Chains A and B, each alone.
Chain A
Amino acid sequence: MIPFTLVTKNLAKHKLRFVLTVLSLAVAIFLLCVLRSLVVALNAGVADAAANRVIVQSRVSLFVQLPQSYGPKLAQVDGVECFARWNWFGGYYQDPSNFFAQFATDPKELFDVYPEIYLVEGSKADFLANRKACVVGAETAAKYGVRVGDTFPIIGALYPTADGSAWDFQVAGIYRSKKKSVDENTLFFHYEFLEKSLESGFASGPSGVGIFVLKVAPGFQPVEVMSEVDAMFENGPQVVQATSESEFQAQFVSMVGNVPLLVSSIGGGVMIAILLAVLNTMLMSAREQTRDIGVLKALGFTDGSVFGVLILQSFVLCGLGGLLGIVLAKMSEPAVVKGIGSMFPGYQVTNPTLLEAVGATAAIGFLAGIAPALRARALSVIDALRAVR
Chain B
Amino acid sequence: MALVPLSYNLRSLAVRWSATLLTVFGIGATVAVLSGVLALQQGFETLFSESGREDVIVFLRQGATNEGDSVFSLERAQILMKTLPEIAVDEKGVPLVSAEMYLAVRRKKIDGGESYVPIRGVSPLSFDIYGDGVRIIEGRRLVGGADEVIVGKKLVNRIRDCQVGRTLTLNTTPFEVVGVFDSDGPFASEIWGDRNRIGEALERPVQSRIVAILKEGTDLAALAERMDSDPQVPSKVLTEREYLTSQTQALSFVLKGLGFFLALVMGTAAVFTATNTMLAALASRTYEIGILLALGYRPHAIFLSFLFEALVLGLAGGAVGCLMALPLNGVDTGAMNFQTFTEVAFAFRVTPQVMVTAVVFAVMLGLIGGTWPALRAASMRPTEAMRRV
Contacts and interface: CB of A to CB of B under 8 A. Distances in A.
B19 A284 contact: yes
A50 B313 CA distance: 54
Interface of B: 18-19, 22-23, 25-27, 29-30, 32-33, 36-37, 40, 62-65, 68-69, 71, 103-106, 113-116, 170-172, 202-204, 262, 265-266, 268-270, 272-273, 275-277, 279-280, 284, 333-336, 341, 343, 389
B266 A284 contact: no
29 contacts: A16-B275, A16-B279, A17-B276, A20-B273, A27-B266, A27-B269, A60-B170, A61-B104, A61-B105, A61-B106, A62-B104, A62-B106, A62-B341, A63-B103, A157-B63, A238-B203, A251-B106, A254-B114, A255-B336, A255-B343, A257-B334, A257-B343, A266-B36, A273-B26, A274-B269, A277-B276, A280-B19, A280-B22, A281-B276
Q: Which residue among A90, A157, A273, A274 has the maximum number of chain B CB atoms within 10 Å of its CB?
A: A273
A343 to B, nearest CB: 8
Contacts of A276: 22-23, 25-26, 29, 273
Given A273-B30, A280-B276, A389-B284, A64 B268 contact: no
A316 interface: no
Given A61-B105, A277-B272, A284-B19, A17 B343 contact: no
Given A63-B68, A265-B36, A23 B272 contact: yes
Contacts of B202: 60, 64
A266 B341 CA distance: 24
Given A61-B104, A63-B103, A283-B22, A24 B29 contact: no
B260 to A, nearest CB: 13
Contacts of A21: 272, 276
A280 B266 contact: no
Interface residues of A, number: 53
Contacts of A59: 106, 171
Given A17-B280, A60-B106, A251-B114, A272 B29 contact: yes
Contact of A239 (B26, B27, B172, B280): B172
Nearest to B61: A160
A277 B269 contact: yes
A262 B40 CA distance: 10
The 8 closest A-B pairs by CB, nearest first: A24-B269, A269-B33, A273-B29, A276-B26, A20-B272, A277-B273, A24-B272, A280-B22
B203 A266 contact: no
Contacts of B23: 276, 280
Interface string A251-295: 100111110001001100110111011011101100000000000
